[in-house]
Structure 1
Amino acid sequence: MKTTRRFLMGAAAGLALAGMVFGGSSADAKTLKIAAIVQSLNTEYNVLWADAAKAHPALADGTATLTVLDGRQDVLTQSNLFDTAITEKYDAIIFIPVDIDAGNEPIERAKAAGIPVFGSNTMVSNTALYDAYINSNDVEAGEMLAKAVIDKAGPQAKVVILEGMLGQSAQVQRLEGIQKVLKENPGVTILEQNTANWSRAEAITLMENFLTSHGDAIQGVLAENDEMAVGAIEGIRNHGLDPKTVPVAGVDGIKDALEAVKRGEQSMSILQDANGQAQGAIDLALHKIVGDSYKPRAAVWDVNGGKLAWNDGKDQHYSVPWLAVTSENVDKVLVGN
């Protein structure tokens, strides 16, 4: 297997705090305050996550307020947001870290200040720091998208890989899953492998560069998220090729990717349950603060008709299942979304 790897390093984002989104009412002094520090509100999945979190019933009835703070894809910005949450004495913090290692230390500061921290979506390397965390298995997602492309392109395919922001847990673990499948398929050749930083715009440019170098020798695209998958499809189209002839798979289940699946331009989108991850994290936080009398309200839990076992809120880790979306079920998924 032949591999070419180039790393693109982006400049650090500014330190300004931005993108504060509020839910619930702060009129009642007994209302609990939860801060959610997300990666970036410029990514569609983080926006879906924030919208789902704001719809939690506990915000509507005044049990809690939620403040979503935009980390702007920057480690230092997220660290400063932790300082803000600590200073303003939030009752709990939900964290979607930018970096798998750099996120550990801010959690330690919050815990030292007596504030419980809950993980959602991406995670830090020292998961023992979390009071609890809820996400989906990103290694499994990497395996699923690699198998989807190889199933379409064949065991001797020449493929390219579009990675997310280097150092984020989703990038690290999805690549691990991809590499596992590629090891099982030694006939597959990696023509190019590079980061597009979860960005559709960067993926368009990167895919066009790949095509300039390799042309129609590229027989498949493994994109670690749907924004990059959709960008790759656009790059293929811009190069004068029919996207339906190049299998592309991605992760998240964003609307544009689902529409691409429906058109036959994307082989698979692996839907990530933003509602389950976001509202599930709020339930875990409220259970920690209120105690066993708190009853979870997110639809993801088995006690509310979902598939994820609540187990009385005692587990430290909860894994929300993926849903593979293909031409066979995309219409049903689009109706549901």
Structure 2
Amino acid sequence: MRNTSPRPGRRLRAAALACAAVLVAAGCAKSEENAAAPQPEGTQGAQVVATPTGTSGSTCSLEQFGGEKFDLKNAVVGFSQSEKEANPFRIAETQSIRDEAAKLGIDELRVTNAQSQFSKQITDVQQLIAQGAQLLVIAPLNSDGWEPVLQQAAEKKIPIITIDRKINAEPCKDYLTFIGSDFYEQGKRAADQMIEALGGKGKVAILLGAPGNNVTTERTNGFKDRVKEKAPDIEISFEQTGEFAREKGQQVTEQLIQSNPDINGIYAENDEMALGAVTALKGAGKEPGEIKIVSVDGTRSAVQAIVDGWIHAVVESNPRFGPLAFETAQKFLDGEPIPDTVIISDREYDSSNAESSLSQAY
């Protein structure tokens, strides 16, 4: 399958990480103080990233990993998407991979979609391996259960780059590196927004993401730890999974309103659940801003909901992995050591910048 995609035309918290900021697409690096400010026209796809060495401080080179160097442009590259592309994050993520492959002139990009079925994703990747994939970029549905794929890839020395979610395996042995957001930091930043919105006191509900992956765990722990540290008068009185889905987020919020009518805030671990919560609040006759909602993602619909007063703030989870994924792969093939974790930058949206930044949301 040839890639015929068209060729396309930030707030990083690097606390305690000794890392270098790297510009991988058009745009200019900004300081943390103004990182949430809108980007200039023409830089909507920009990524300012950091490349920390990870908690273990380990890196991986082609010599360590094994295998032969190959020309990325002439290689068979497989991309495995995990979820249905009804979610704006997934749409933007896949398009970023397609666009960057086209920009680089990579002829053989093979894209699969597991349709939110883990067994299908395993089969998808095994088929990509059988079809001769020399590089695999995987957006994992779950963090566990990858042993069959990892074993087959290791036998053929196929480097695997995982994006947006981690797999529970050993970097440089089972896979090359993980590229994604600092999900724990996202949770902390969401908590800061909620603390500000509630003045440090009140009752908060958490719409948990899907179980079984590191994103949900880290966004939850970051939020809870920050609330405990900075706002002990905020009580987390309700937690239930909304499975990262809008309809489920609406259903859970409808139950929440009935069981906890005195709730003051909702932390949704992605925008789709937050938008479902908005629908439930509207149905219950609530007014915009009556219950403060903070979420994570940065979709255009959620940023518009800030403009409309229904959502208080959104912490971005940047889905534009294409430039960074292929740059990391090329550095690896050129013999450069690759860190086991590469962090992409995430901005924030609130009432001060939502309207002016709407075009930069995805």
Question: What pairs with 1:51-200 in structure 2 (closer than 5 Å)?
Answer: 51-56=95-100, 58-60=101-103, 62-103=105-146, 105-128=148-171, 129-184=174-229, 185-200=231-246
Secondary structure of the corresponding residue to residue 240 of structure 2: strand
The answer as to 2:275 corresponding to 1:230 is yes
- Taking structure 1 as the reference length, what is the TM-score of the superposition? 0.80
Counterpart amino acid of residue 91 in structure 2: V
Cα distance in 2 for partners of 1:251, 1:68 equals 26
The one-character-per-residue Cα deviations of 1:226-246 (angstroms, maximum 9, x if unpaired) are 111111111111111113111
State, as a whole percentage, how many aligned pairs show the same letter: 21
Unmatched 5+ stretches in structure 1: 1-19, 293-311
Q: 1:141 to 1:30 in 2, by over 3 A?
A: closer
Cα distance in 1 for partners of 2:332, 2:160 equals 10
Q: Contact conserved, 2:73 with 2:105, CA < 8 A, in 1?
A: no
Higher RCO by CA contacts (8 Å cutoff, separation 6 or greater)? 2
The answer as to 2:358 corresponding to 1:334 is yes
Cα distance in 1 for partners of 2:198, 2:264 equals 6
User: How far is 1:257 from its partner?
Assistant: 0.4
Unmatched 5+ stretches in structure 2: 7-71
Q: 1:320 to 1:61 in 2, by over 3 A?
A: closer
The answer as to 2:308 corresponding to 1:263 is yes
Superposed CA RMSD in Å reads 2.4
Q: 1:155 to 1:85 in 2, by over 3 A?
A: same
User: How far is 1:313 from its partner?
Assistant: 6.3
The one-character-per-residue Cα deviations of 1:223-280 (angstroms, maximum 9, x if unpaired) are 10111111111111111111311110111100100101111211111122222x2321
User: How far is 1:127 from its partner?
Assistant: 4.9
User: How far is 1:59 from its partner?
Assistant: 2.0
Aligned to 1:38: 81
User: How far is 1:108 from its partner?
Assistant: 3.5
Q: Contact conserved, 1:111 with 1:117, CA < 8 A, in 2?
A: no
- Taking structure 2 as the reference length, what is the TM-score of the superposition? 0.75
Counterpart amino acid of residue 47 in structure 1: I
| Greater than 4 Å deviation, 4+ residue runs | 20-25
The one-character-per-residue Cα deviations of 1:21-56 (angstroms, maximum 9, x if unpaired) are 94469xxx9721211112202322111100111111
Q: How many residues align?
A: 293
Q: 1:61 to 1:125 in 2, by over 3 A?
A: closer
Secondary structure of the corresponding residue to residue 331 of structure 1: coil
Counterpart amino acid of residue 134 in structure 2: D
Counterpart amino acid of residue 263 in structure 2: I
The one-character-per-residue Cα deviations of 1:113-148 (angstroms, maximum 9, x if unpaired) are 221100111111225132122111000001111221
Secondary structure of the corresponding residue to residue 195 of structure 2: helix
